[in-house]
A and B are shown apart, each in its own frame.
Chain A
Amino acid sequence: MIMTELTDFATQFNVNIPLDESCIVRNRNRYYLLSKKLKQQVPKGFFYAGEYLGAIKGASFFPSFPLLSLLAKRKTNKLIVDKKTAWLFICGRDIFQQGIIKENNLKKGDHALVLNEHNECLGFGKIMHNLRGAPDAKKVAVKNILDIGDFLRREKHTSKSQQYSSRLQRPDRKTHKQTHK
């Protein structure tokens, strides 16, 4: 059951998730990947442990950045963007065709991980039109769904208001499901 949500998420990027199910722990609505040592030796009741993989809120799965980085190491839907585009993407902007350096024949509707020139995963987005052919340069090519600038947005939000009991309740965090609408 735990793996279903994770594998379903990974499937959208055409990749199998390379995780040992016995080391994945669900704590409230969050998933963590624990080393064998952590799993055996730390007592229950932790707030956070090991490698955070993501969380479930309602029917939506919210991936963590370590999970996206794990997926990015595999053969998967991904695209590499130039320096300027990488920065704009981190700032929450969508991606235009001219900023894409490399992609693996991504089609409209695909989900793809967005990497910088150093092959570091910056987040992921949804392909808005086939990237090969003669795309309109003025149209958004990849819609930003989640980017690492989220770390700063979370901090800003936390300092403004600490009433939220979980980061998942924050309205500025876009869900994967919402982007389909």
Chain B
Amino acid sequence: MSSKQFFVNRYKKLGWNYQQLQLKRAIRINTMNAPRDIVVSRLESLGIVLKKIPFLRDGYWINKSKFSVGATAEYLLGLYSIQKAAAQIPATLFNELENKMVLDTCASPGGKTIQLANLMNNSGIIVALELKLRKMFALTNQLERSRVTNAAVYNLDAREACKLNMKFDCVLLDMPCSGNPITDTDWFNKRTIEDVHKNARRQRQILTEAVKVTKDDGEIVYATCSLEPEENEFNVDWALANLNLKLEEINCHGEKGLTNVFGKNLDRSIKKCKRIWPKQTQGFFVCKLKKQK
């Protein structure tokens, strides 16, 4: 059986019939730098046709543009960021962000860090971690471009976050993951189930460390762009059993998390997670966990 057939069969068992999709590009307005309606009207005056993304406050799809939206003056001035629609969801799930201490693990290329700063109105503190030095330049360029002033960036593995000796109110875990075949057309040729298991193990290590640096009652948002249950529902099930965490209800785009996967019953609260099958957006999985006292 080919790798593609293997994964496509799995998706079918989970409830999704694989089909390749052409996704629209999406942007997010940085309302800390300019009002939303002004940015929209400036982009429309350039001939860019935008469509509001119904499930996001500041997100728009690019329906038509004769040129790259990454090369306008408005982009270079930090008035908006290019960010996939589903990737705009996790940062919006925290209850309150202004003046909070926030940890953003695996932060590069910085889309979610900028979004956090935007939601915090540049108040409080964001500590952004990135393991790979070469990605740090992209991240810091984005922060400079978007006028983020409340972030501190460290070249540090998220699995060593304790070294900072800090405690956080909110932790965004945008996990390094296996990705999905919608955003990477060569995905089936590159990925094996062993990769998925390896990534799932690393995600558990990151999650374990994140819990250590989260304050009691602090919130952890866990997100991947993987469709594989090992990196999503199975990891959350493991975390609920081992890390003194509780799932919180979230109100966002997506279907309920799966509580029975390949015949295995998982914690029933996992239905509070959101699984987004590729359709309007790329595939995504997100949930919010609360650290118990």
Contact = CB atoms under 8 A, between A and B. Distances in A.
Interface string B37-75: 000000000000000000000000000000000110100
Nearest to B155: A47
Contacts of A90: 73, 76
B152 A42 contact: yes
Interface string A78-97: 00000000110010000000
A123 to B, nearest CB: 10
Interface in B116-143: 124-125, 127, 134, 136-141, 143
Contacts of B143: 48, 52
Contact of B140 (A45, A48, A65, A69): A48
B42 to A, nearest CB: 8
B165 A48 contact: no
Contacts of B141: 151, 154-155, 167
Residue among B137, B143, B151, B153 with the highest chain A CB neighbour number at 10 A: B137
Contacts of B31: none
Contacts of A46: 152-154
B164 interface: yes
Contact of A37 (B73, B124, B140): B124
B36 interface: no
B166 interface: yes
B153 A66 contact: no
B255 interface: no
Contacts of B235: none
Given A46-B152, A46-B153, A51-B149, A37 B137 contact: no
Interface in B86-129: 101, 124-125, 127
B127 A120 contact: no
A64 interface: yes
A171 interface: no
Contacts of A152: 70-71, 76
Contacts of A77: none
A151 B152 contact: no
Interface residues of A, number: 34
Given A43-B166, A87-B73, A167 B145 contact: no
Residue among A49, A51, A154 with the highest chain B CB neighbour number at 10 A: A49
Nearest to A123: B76
B138 A158 contact: yes
B165 A47 contact: no
Given A47-B154, A47-B155, A148-B76, A42 B149 contact: no
B166 A41 contact: yes
Instruction: Give the dominant DSSP class at A's interface.
Output: mixed
Interface in A52-79: 52, 64-66, 69
A155 B137 CA distance: 9
Contact of B77 (A43, A51, A148, A158): A148
B140 A149 contact: no
B144 interface: yes
Contacts of B153: 46-49
A43 B153 CA distance: 11
Residue among B73, B145, B165 with the highest chain A CB neighbour number at 10 A: B73
B147 interface: yes
Contact of B76 (A35, A41, A149): A149
A178 interface: no
A86 B72 CA distance: 11
Interface string A134-163: 000000000000001101101100100010
A49 B152 contact: yes
A50 B149 contact: yes
Nearest to B33: A120
B125 A45 contact: no
B150 interface: yes
7 contacts: A35-B149, A42-B127, A42-B152, A120-B77, A122-B73, A122-B77, A148-B77
Given A41-B166, A151-B144, 4 more contacts: A41-B101, A42-B166, A52-B144, A148-B76
Interface of A: 33, 35, 37-38, 41-43, 45-52, 64-66, 69, 86-87, 90, 116, 120, 122, 148-149, 151-152, 154-155, 158, 162, 167
